[in-house]
């Protein structure tokens, strides 16, 4: 430009049809570089700036990558339902719900891997507390293109942080966000407000799909825009296949199915039995001998105490303890009767139990306390909410 303005104009630049297009190219290249720089900014900014969102530095090291899963059996219906919602969320979010060990996290991880392969951006948040959830939600929104200025405005108190994050999640397309193990949803909602008002971190307003996994199966908890996908025990075919995958030399497919049905098709129990059978030093190494041993050694095989069971993260990996986590939660919510009711039901035969059989008088005799009808109904409702008590269809 200096040359052009001065007398010493190079010969080729003396022609207007050369120099003006050249200027235009330079201007366009400049604009292009500015835009590219912004993109790079969005990609690299989250780690550098997230510190101020969270309560501690711990969450900064948490990955948003989904966990790896190998050989998921069954669950085709739930995966197909989720795939449909991923293509068209239509103002809804999904909740995979069931009792502990039923395979919610596993199904969500399998779905995340399918979505990732299909080109969706996938984010995985493991619920621990609301401060970490906030941090990871912001990280997700930034990765989906949330402009720095909007985040700064929310940080400065000029806008709500959840509103800002969800505005961006409502603009961006083709993303999947999984919030895993959200077992105490009342902690996730804004303080003192129901989650179902959708004013906190959980909202149905994304252009992508939000999937929750939770032990809480209550429609009241999740509100009208939640599509609840309750997981049931696995059918014989898939359940037996899990045992064969774990211990391929332990017997025939039919023997595996028989053992799988004895274990109630519960994935966590199948996983525990499969791991045991595959152990080179185990006493029982075939499906049949293990199933026979269960009749008299169940407390030793599947009911053994775990020394670290007081930690909920350990407890949920052990068949004996995993449902105690939910019973503890019910007790904390003031529903102490749920535990003796479940224990009492467990003493009865493996068949539907008429509700009328379980009376306040019976529970009074069991617990030694006065039990009222409302307390008993609350215990049934609590167990049903956490997937520990099911109703037969008829």
Where do contacts with ligand ATP occur on this chain (CB under 6 A)?
Answer: 72-75, 98, 100-106, 181, 213, 215, 242, 267-268, 271, 316, 322
Which lies closer to ligand ATP via its Cβ, residue 169 or residue 180? 180
Nearer to ligand ATP, 322 or 329 (CB): 322
214 is an interface residue for Mg ion by CB under 5 A: no
Region of 66-74, 96-104, 163-171, 346-354 interacting with Mg ion (CB under 5 A): 96-104
Q: What CA–CA distances, in Å, run from 319 to 50, 73, 216?
A: 38, 19, 19
CB of 245 to Mg ion, least distance (A): 20
Which of ligand ATP, Mg ion, none is residue 339 near (CB under 5 to 8 Å by kind)?
none
102-131 footprint of Mg ion as x/- string (CB under 5 A): --xx--------------------------
The residue within the footprint of Mg ion, chosen from 110, 135, 168, 181 (CB under 5 A), is 181
Provide, rounded to whole angstroms, the least separation between the CB of residue 127 and Mg ion: 10
| Nearest distance in Å: CB 98, ligand ATP | 6
Nearest to residue 59, comparing CAs of 163, 140, 155? 140
CB atoms within 10 A of CB 170: 13
**β pairing state of 226-230 and 175-180:** unpaired
Q: Could you tell me which of 372, 351, 355, 374 has the C-alpha nearest to residue 363? A: 372
For ligand ATP, which is the closer residue by CB, 68 or 88? 68
d(CA 219, CA 222): 5
If the CB atoms of residues 154 and 270 are measured against Mg ion, the closer one turns out to be 270
Query: How far is it, in rounded angstroms, from Cα 213 to Cα 111?
Result: 12
Strands ordered across the beta sheet of 209-214: 121-126, 175-180, 209-214, 93-97, 226-230
Beta partners for residue 209, in sequence order: 176
| Contact criterion met (CB below 8 Å) for 220 and 192 | no
- 233 binding partner (options ligand ATP, Mg ion, none; Cβ < 5 to 8 Å by kind): none
For Mg ion, the binding residues (CB under 5 A) are 104-105, 181
């Amino acid at each position: 430009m200096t040359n052009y303005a001065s007398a010493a104009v190079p010969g080729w630049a003396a022609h207007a049809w050369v120099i003006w297009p050249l200027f235009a190219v330079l201007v366009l290249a400049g604009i292009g570089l500015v835009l590219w720089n912004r993109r790079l900014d969005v990609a690299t900014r989250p780690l550098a700036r997230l510190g101020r969102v969270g309560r501690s530095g711990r969450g900064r090291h948490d990955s948003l990558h989904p966990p790896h899963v190998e050989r998921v059996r069954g669950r085709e219906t739930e995966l197909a339902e989720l795939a449909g919602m991923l293509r068209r969320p239509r103002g809804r979010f999904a909740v995979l719900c069931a009792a502990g060990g039923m395979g919610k996290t596993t199904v969500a991880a399998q779905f995340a891997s399918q979505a990732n392969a299909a080109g969706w951006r996938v984010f995985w948040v493991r619920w621990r507390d609301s401060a970490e959830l906030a941090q990871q939600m912001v990280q997700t929104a930034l990765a989906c293109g949330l402009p720095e200025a909007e985040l700064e405005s929310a940080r400065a108190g000029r806008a709500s942080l959840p509103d800002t994050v969800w505005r961006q999640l409502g603009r961006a397309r083709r993303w999947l966000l999984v919030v895993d193990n959200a077992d105490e949803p009342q902690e996730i909602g804004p303080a003192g407000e129901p989650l179902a008002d959708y004013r906190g971190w959980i909202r149905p307003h994304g252009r992508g799909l939000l999937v929750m996994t939770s032990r809480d199966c209550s429609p009241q908890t999740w509100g009208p825009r939640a599509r609840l996908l309750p997981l049931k025990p696995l059918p014989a075919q898939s359940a037996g296949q899990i045992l064969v995958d774990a211990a391929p030399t332990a017997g025939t497919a039919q023997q595996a199915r028989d053992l799988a049905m004895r274990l109630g098709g519960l994935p966590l129990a199948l996983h525990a039995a499969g791991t045991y059978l595959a152990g080179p030093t185990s006493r029982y190494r075939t499906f049949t001998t293990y199933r026979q041993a269960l009749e008299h050694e169940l407390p030793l095989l599947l009911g053994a105490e775990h020394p670290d069971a007081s930690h909920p993260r350990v407890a949920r990996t052990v068949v004996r303890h995993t449902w105690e986590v939910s019973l503890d939660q019910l007790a904390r919510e003031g529903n102490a009767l749920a535990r003796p009711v479940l224990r009492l039901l467990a003493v009865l035969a493996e068949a539907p139990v008429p509700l009328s059989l379980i009376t306040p008088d019976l529970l009074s005799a069991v617990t030694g306390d006065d039990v009222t009808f409302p307390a008993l109904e609350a215990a049934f409702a609590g167990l049903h909410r956490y997937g520990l008590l099911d109703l037969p269809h008829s």
